[in-house]
Amino acid sequence: MENKSVLYNEITNFCISSTESAVLSYLNIFSVLLNITNLFFLKTLDKSKRTANFWILVNIGICDIVTCSTFSLVVNCELNRQAVFRLPTAGAQIFQIAAAIFAGVTFIARNFVLAIGSYERYISICRPYQKNTNKVVTNINLCTSLIWLISFILMTIVIATDFEEYCFGEFGAMPEKPNIQTSVTFAGSTTTAFVTSAICLSKVSKELKRMQSRSSVPGLDDLIVKRSAQYIMIVSIALYLSYIPTVMSVISNSIDGALYSMGSLWRWISFFYMTIYSILNVGLYFLMTPGYRIHVFNLFNLKKSTVRSQ
Tell me if 300 is assigned to some domain: no
| CATH code, domain with 46 | 1.20.1070.10
State the pLDDT at residue 16: 66
User: What's the longest Cα–Cα distance across the chain?
Assistant: 72
Tell me if 22 is assigned to some domain: yes
pTM of whole model > 0.85?
no
State the pLDDT at residue 278: 93
Q: What would the DSSP string read from start to end of 168-188?
A: BBTTBTS-SS--HHHHHHHHH
Task: Considering only residues 175 and 92, tell me which one the structure prediction assigns the higher pLDDT.
Answer: 92
Tell me if 41 is assigned to some domain: yes
Tell me if 307 is assigned to some domain: no
Tell me if 303 is assigned to some domain: no
In angstroms, rounded to a whole number, what is the distance separating the alpha carbons of residues 6 and 81? Answer: 13
| Number of folded domains that form the chain | 1
Tell me which residue range forms the domain holding 17.
4-293
Side chain identity, residue 174 = M
User: Are 80 and 15 contacting, i.e. CB atoms less than 8 angstroms apart?
Assistant: yes
pLDDT digits (tens, 9 = 90+) for 294-308: 888 888 875 444 444
State the pLDDT at residue 7: 52
State the pLDDT at residue 142: 93
pLDDT digits (tens, 9 = 90+) for 58-103: 999 999 999 898 888 877 777 777 776 677 777 777 877 888 888 8
State the pLDDT at residue 277: 93
In angstroms, rounded to a whole number, what is the distance separating the alpha carbons of residues 288 and 310? Answer: 11
Q: Is 58 left (phi over 0), alpha (psi -120 to 50) or beta?
A: alpha
Name the nearest CA neighbour of 34 among 250, 288, 284: 284
Contacts of 187 (CB under 8 A, 6+ apart): none
State the pLDDT at residue 282: 93
In angstroms, rounded to a whole number, what is the distance separating the alpha carbons of residues 99 and 71? Answer: 8
State the pLDDT at residue 236: 92
In angstroms, rounded to a whole number, what is the distance separating the alpha carbons of residues 222 and 139? Answer: 24
pLDDT band at 130; cut points 50, 70, 90: confident
Per-state percent for the chain, helix, strand, coil, to nearest 5: 80, 0, 20
Tell me if 306 is assigned to some domain: no
User: Are 92 and 84 contacting, i.e. CB atoms less than 8 angstroms apart?
Assistant: yes
In angstroms, rounded to a whole number, what is the distance separating the alpha carbons of residues 46 and 28? Answer: 30
The rounded percent of the chain whose pLDDT value lies above 70 is: 78
pLDDT digits (tens, 9 = 90+) for 219-241: 445 677 778 888 999 999 999 99
Radius of gyration of the chain (CA): 21
Tell me if 305 is assigned to some domain: no
179, 206, 260 from 150: Cα distances, Å = 19, 33, 35
